[in-house]
Amino acid sequence: MTGRLITIGQLAAYAGVTIKAVRHYHQRGLLEEPPRDSSGYRRYNAQHAIDLVKIKTLAEAGVPLARIKELLAANPDQFAAATTEIDRNLQDRANELRRTRERIARLGGGDRLFVSAEVADFLEALHELGVSQRTIQMERNGWILMQSASPKQAAIWFADKRDALADPEFRAIYLEYDAAFDWSPDDHLLNALAVRTERWFAKRHDSLKGREGSVLDPTLAQVATSVGMSSPAWDRIGEIGKERKARVTKAPATRL
């Protein structure tokens, strides 16, 4: 090729790049543009081919185009220092890409995304118990908010909730509340469920006297309200609870 001039297409083929890439390197000032011949075409020599191969090699190694011109003109010491810096930057990028891939992989974790491992295990336990996906999603959203807003308080609530779920009666109430979401607000079973829940929490309150930090919400409906989920039946359960409390408050004291 020495002493022989070639076209831009031949130059690109020799270096294994596209004609578009050669023109881009011209625009970036990386590859010198030769003058045009009498027929208006650019003709390239061996040095152009050597420079183009160097540019391609550096670009494929991950060197930013903005740094290639600097490296082409650098002495051996400067070249070594620059490539060390570039390698370090590439390693940082590779580590960030790895972390990004790990985060993307965790997206497939479903209920394990955004919540602690303990809460994720709790949600799986709810699923095994037969709780609907709707309610599990509601629980998940609630724990996301609570753990973000107040991790310490959320830990207290969670320990209490998990302890309550160990009680067969509470599990039964929980499942009935879950099912009641779709009931008619006029269903007479809602009153029975409200009474059953009230009695369970009264009994639990007595058993937890002296235990600090027990603040378990009395119904699924109350938890759901905080994350924007409700139904006419759940609203009615809340009303029944308020009505019963009001009657107790207004009831005259028993004479001794």
Q: Render each residue's pLDDT in the chain as its tens digit; 256 residues.
A: 545 789 999 999 989 999 999 999 999 999 999 988 888 888 999 999 999 998 998 888 888 888 888 888 888 888 888 888 888 888 888 888 888 777 666 555 555 667 888 888 898 899 999 999 988 888 888 888 888 888 888 888 888 888 888 999 999 999 999 999 999 999 999 999 999 999 998 888 777 765 554 445 544 544 544 555 789 999 899 899 889 888 877 666 544 3
Q: Long-range contacts made by residues 30-37, C-beta under 8 angstroms, separation at least 24?
A: 30/55, 30/65, 30/68, 30/69, 30/72, 31/55, 37/5
pLDDT at 219: 47
pLDDT at 181: 93
* Residue 67: exposure state from Cβ atoms within 10 A (0-12, 13-18, ≥19): middle
The dihedrals phi and psi of 36, each to the nearest 5 degrees, come to -85, 150
pLDDT at 112: 65
Q: What is the pTM of this model?
A: 0.54
pLDDT at 35: 86
pLDDT at 108: 55
Q: What separation in angstroms does the CA of 80 have from each of 56, 69, 77, 84, 195?
A: 18, 15, 5, 6, 79
pLDDT at 180: 94
